[in-house]
Structure 1
Amino acid sequence: MIKPVRIAAISFDHGHQYSYLRAMLSIPDLELVAISEPNHEQRVRAEAMLDEFGVRDSVRVFSNHEELISCDDVDAVSICSANVMHHDLVMLAADAGKHVLCEKPLATSLSDATAMVQKCAESGVTLATAYPVRHAPQVWDVRARLARGELGKVHSMSMTNVLGARPRGWFIDPAKSGGGAIRDHIVHATDLMRWFSGSEVQQVYCEADTLMRDIPVEDTGLLIEVFASGAIGTCDPSWNRPTTWRKWGDVTGRIMCDHGVLEFDITDHAIQITSSDVTRPHAEVSFAASMNEALLRDFAVAVFEGREPCATGKDGWAGVASTEAAYLSAKTQMFVDVPSYPDA
């Protein structure tokens, strides 16, 4: 058993932090020592979770992020602020020698993302991007089959990461979010396609608009991504499903290979493999709790062992690169080249 990593939760602006907090309190490899949240209502909600787990007296609660970051007994932090704050908080944490798990998207500009990755490397701290979907059992199963070459080479991929719930608050404030559905959801789908194909995105074409609601950011979009391997991917990151939809959102994928198709839906717990000679459903598996726990457990072990996490800062950088290219494509109505990481 590893020595527990002393972790703190910084900001509950993004609701994912509540799920991560529950995971932190459930994993022996992590010791939650502090949380910080300036917003009273969000702080009270987090404190209620501490009460639920019976740890309210042992976890310090701050209303100031910088004060928490300065604590000597914090090894690592999980940052779930509004998107535009990621850069400043990660830089402060790295300066203080804290390992960082940063909510997606890593940043709202490529220059910020580059600075964050480089700062953490220079400071000798781990920078992990919170891509919990990588840790869904369905996704692991699909990736393992692709790695074994069960169905041959990947030729095309089609992903959705859509929303039925209505985004509100800072999510629809471009000054805080950096954009709408494109900024919010491209990163998951693009990350999975990179992971499945083992290849980087070279070009992006994007259509994006605000079609469903009177909000100042886009709620609808479609992308085509061309990969270095020659594979082609499509992505629907829209926030355009009705509020009466049967689920809050989804992450689905269809991967076309030489000898068949792999399909998955993490919200329906489903995997289906269709080969040239057999069609059979894979056993359903539960993912909802284990996905976030697996993300936090991987981060803890990466910090303890000094290895890279499953999704690194550079993986987060790649998501930002595709997003920036998508916005430029939507503006110019042209395919846009996606840059490679500067040290590549």
Structure 2
Amino acid sequence: MNKLKVGMIGLAHTHGESFLKALERNPHAEIAGISDENKAYAEPFDRMYPYFEDYRELLRTDIEAVFICSENIRHAPLTLAAAKARKHVFCEKPLGVSKEDMQAMVEACKENGVQLMTAFTNRYSQAVVQAKEVIDSGGIGKVLAVKCTNKGGLPRRDWFTDRRLSGGGAMLDHSVHVIDILNWILRSRVVQVYAESGTLFHDIPIDDMGMIHFKYANGVVGVLDTSWSRVKAFPMKRDLTLEFIGTGGTIAVDVRNMINEVYSNSAGSAAWSDWSDNLSELIVADFVDCILTGRPVPITGDDGMNSAVVALAAYESSRLGKPVDLP
């Protein structure tokens, strides 16, 4: 199998480093260059790979695909530029910060004959995959409701709390992963959202918590706790849980539960050592294989848009103080 020549545009998102390391370990990928207008984000990788101060110069090379891990607000212009250059795109979540931007991204990639994949790593968790298999087989009957959480600590990069760069706070950052999993498993779409958001845990100019209630077209109702509420001393920075309640049973999924408890005098508190699959490696390997073999990517730009529009509706509901219908 040939190697896929890839470039990395933007390392502002903390996931960017994990995707870059996954590409380094992938025998079918070749990192041909990286670019970020803020060179501090590119360190130390700018000394390991060709560094392009201007991402357009990187797009003019013979790379076949790009990984976009920039600030959220830049996902759309970078994807549009990559599509115009006929490069396949792997884009960090959320796909965009407006429905119009995301529609333009999806359409540009289709028009230029390139694939667009959204970086929803949690679809590769065995806990999620096996829950889907049980639900698909009718193991808990008809799903009636879901209860979910996606809580984490305050992101270490300041741009997350700058709405001009992020497009939203915790409610956008932490809802899209869960909504994508639900869309995938329930095979339906959210038609109504009611949400409350606020800033309760940190002195920041953006929301750090949200409670989202939603209803699917197939009748399933649910609630999602999405926040940056975990303190520094917590053993693991984040969680992701889902409980599916059906007519014939329930399934409780804890994506981060594959851990060892670690106690050490050198640490300030207890720690959890994660021994689960490396989800970044799995999703990167799948994207690389799809592009090399011509197989359609499993998590499309449409999937990215269908999760992000729920978060955008949640902000609108919180602002209005009433439920919002999704067309």
Common fold: TM-score over 0.5: yes
Which residue, out of 170, 180, 191, partners 2:169? 180
**Residue 12 of structure 2 corresponds to which residue in structure 1?**
13
What is the Cα deviation at residue 44 of structure 1? 2.1
Counterparts of 1:11-90 in structure 2 under 5 Å?
A: 11-47=10-46, 56=48, 59-71=49-61, 73-90=62-79
Question: CA contact under 8 A between 2:12 and 2:157: conserved in structure 1?
Answer: no
**Residue 135 of structure 2 corresponds to which residue in structure 1?**
146
Aligned partners of 1:213, 1:233: CA distance in 2, in Å? Answer: 27
Aligned partners of 1:308, 1:327: CA distance in 2, in Å? Answer: 32
Counterparts of 1:189-204 in structure 2 under 5 Å?
A: 189-204=178-193
Aligned partners of 2:33, 2:39: CA distance in 1, in Å? Answer: 16
What is the Cα deviation at residue 137 of structure 1? 1.7
Question: CA contact under 8 A between 1:193 and 1:233: conserved in structure 2?
Answer: no
Amino acid at match of 2:23: M
Aligned partners of 1:177, 1:145: CA distance in 2, in Å? Answer: 36
What is the Cα deviation at residue 166 of structure 1? 4.7
What is the Cα deviation at residue 23 of structure 1? 0.6
Distance 1:149 1:307, change over 3 A: same
- Unaligned 5+ segments in structure 2 are 260-273
CA-based RMSD = 1.6
Aligned partners of 1:47, 1:168: CA distance in 2, in Å? Answer: 19
Aligned partners of 1:21, 1:95: CA distance in 2, in Å? Answer: 23
Asked if residue 294 in structure 1 is aligned to residue 293 in structure 2, the reply is no
Aligned partners of 1:90, 1:179: CA distance in 2, in Å? Answer: 20
Aligned partners of 1:156, 1:308: CA distance in 2, in Å? Answer: 31
Asked if residue 326 in structure 1 is aligned to residue 326 in structure 2, the reply is no
**Residue 279 of structure 1 corresponds to which residue in structure 2?**
none
Question: CA contact under 8 A between 2:190 and 2:214: conserved in structure 1?
Answer: yes
Deviation digits for residues 296-339 of structure 1 (CA, Å, limit 9, x no counterpart): 11111221233321210000111221111111100111111123
**Residue 268 of structure 1 corresponds to which residue in structure 2?**
257
- Unaligned 5+ segments in structure 1 are 49-55, 271-284, 340-344
Amino acid at match of 1:187: V
Aligned partners of 1:262, 1:233: CA distance in 2, in Å? Answer: 14
**Residue 130 of structure 1 corresponds to which residue in structure 2?**
119
What is the Cα deviation at residue 211 of structure 1? 1.3
How many residue pairs get aligned? The number is: 313
Amino acid at match of 2:196: E
Aligned partners of 1:148, 1:4: CA distance in 2, in Å? Answer: 38
Amino acid at match of 1:334: K
SS at 2:43 equivalent: helix
Aligned partners of 1:77, 1:334: CA distance in 2, in Å? Answer: 40
Which residue, out of 144, 147, 152, partners 1:155? 144
Question: CA contact under 8 A between 2:19 and 2:284: conserved in structure 1?
Answer: yes
**Residue 115 of structure 1 corresponds to which residue in structure 2?**
104
Question: CA contact under 8 A between 1:137 and 1:286: conserved in structure 2?
Answer: no
**Residue 305 of structure 1 corresponds to which residue in structure 2?**
293
Question: CA contact under 8 A between 2:93 and 2:176: conserved in structure 1?
Answer: yes
SS at 2:7 equivalent: strand
What is the Cα deviation at residue 295 of structure 1? 0.6
Amino acid at match of 2:153: G
Aligned partners of 1:80, 1:96: CA distance in 2, in Å? Answer: 18
Aligned partners of 2:67, 2:246: CA distance in 1, in Å? Answer: 37
Aligned partners of 1:4, 1:11: CA distance in 2, in Å? Answer: 22
**Residue 227 of structure 1 corresponds to which residue in structure 2?**
216
Deviates more, 1:203-212 or 1:242-251: 242-251
Aligned partners of 2:217, 2:293: CA distance in 1, in Å? Answer: 32
User: How high is the TM-score relative to the length of structure 1?
Assistant: 0.87
What is the Cα deviation at residue 18 of structure 1? 0.5
Deviation digits for residues 156-183 of structure 1 (CA, Å, limit 9, x no counterpart): 1111111134554100000000110111
Distance 1:287 1:309, change over 3 A: farther
Aligned-pair identity (%): 35
